[in-house]
């Protein structure tokens, strides 16, 4: 990853740096990708309304390059999953993600999409869409304010600007297990779906 601060006096290159031309190409590619992200609004619930409000005239998303809401996944760059995802909808989300073409990113908007939201820890709701698709940015909130979503989008833009074409891990398509269709091992999914942090202690009414 270039020179680390602590090694500055030794001037040792930690990772084989990219050629200068490649970095300029990377910058150009990343800049154009980050500033023309066409969202695939996978809006399900209340967050979808806040997403619409973000796209409307007061908090305009078009100035971030999200001019065209592409409802066809084939023409979209970023999947914004806005709202809670029940298990019945899970295969739909998976199918939409697989229909999107690389390069693609995913923003999970709202607490329900990010973690299942403590209030929906029940039989019907997927506890975080990161158990179904790989997520790049999580935007907390219930629903997040438009400013929150915009901050998430800007974070994604920063993430995209930091990408390097020499990084082989980036554009790898996830490969779900053909039989179970899970792309993570089951114990990992179970762990991700459990309560975490403070909510571990706040299961009084939740059982």
* Residues that bind another protein in the complex, under the rule CB under 8 A: 42-46, 48-50, 52-53, 56-58, 69, 71, 83-84, 86-92, 94, 96, 119-127, 131-132, 142-143, 145, 176, 179-182, 186-187, 189-190, 193, 204-207
Q: Of 17 and 91, which has the nearer Cβ to another protein?
A: 91
**Using DSSP, how many helices (H) and how many strands (E) does the chain show?**
6, 4
Using DSSP bridges, classify how beta strands 39-43 and 78-82 pair: parallel, antiparallel or unpaired: parallel
Q: Of 29 and 52, which has the nearer Cβ to another protein?
A: 52
The distance of closest approach from Cβ of residue 40 to another protein in the complex, given in angstroms and rounded to an integer, is 9
The distance of closest approach from Cβ of residue 190 to another protein in the complex, given in angstroms and rounded to an integer, is 5
Q: Give me 22's structure tokens.
A: 């490649």
Given a contact cutoff of 8 angstroms between Cβ atoms, the answer to whether 203 and 195 are in contact is yes
The distance of closest approach from Cβ of residue 203 to another protein in the complex, given in angstroms and rounded to an integer, is 10
Q: Give me 74's structure tokens.
A: 């084939």
Q: Of 141 and 166, which has the nearer Cβ to another protein?
A: 141
* Preceding omega of 59 cis (within 30 degrees of 0): no
Given a contact cutoff of 8 angstroms between Cβ atoms, the answer to whether 125 and 116 are in contact is yes
The distance of closest approach from Cβ of residue 188 to another protein in the complex, given in angstroms and rounded to an integer, is 8
Rounded to an integer, what distance in angstroms lies between the CA atom of residue 176 and that of residue 173? Answer: 10
Q: Of 18 and 121, which has the nearer Cβ to another protein?
A: 121
């Amino acid at each position: 990853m270039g020179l680390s601060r602590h090694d500055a006096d030794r001037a040792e290159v930690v990772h084989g740096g990219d050629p200068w031309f490649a970095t300029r190409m990377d910058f150009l590619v990343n800049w154009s990708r980050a500033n023309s992200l066409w969202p695939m609004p996978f809006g399900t619930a209340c967050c979808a309304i806040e997403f619409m409000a973000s796209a409307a005239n007061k908090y305009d998303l078009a100035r971030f390059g999200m001019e065209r809401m592409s409802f066809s996944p084939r023409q979209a760059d970023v999947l914004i999953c806005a709202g809670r995802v029940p298990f019945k909808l899970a295969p739909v989300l998976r199918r939409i993600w697989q229909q999107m073409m690389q390069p693609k990113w995913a923003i999970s908007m709202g607490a329900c999409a990010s973690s299942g939201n403590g209030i929906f820890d029940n039989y019907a709701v997927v506890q975080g869409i990161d158990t179904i698709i790989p997520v790049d940015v999580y935007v907390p909130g219930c629903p997040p304010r438009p400013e929150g979503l915009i901050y998430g989008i800007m974070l994604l833009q920063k993430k995209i600007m930091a990408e390097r074409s020499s990084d082989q891990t980036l554009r790898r398509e996830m490969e779900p297990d053909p039989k179970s269709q899970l792309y993570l091992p089951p114990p990992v999914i179970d762990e991700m779906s459990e309560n975490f942090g403070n909510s571990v202690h706040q299961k009084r009414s939740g059982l």
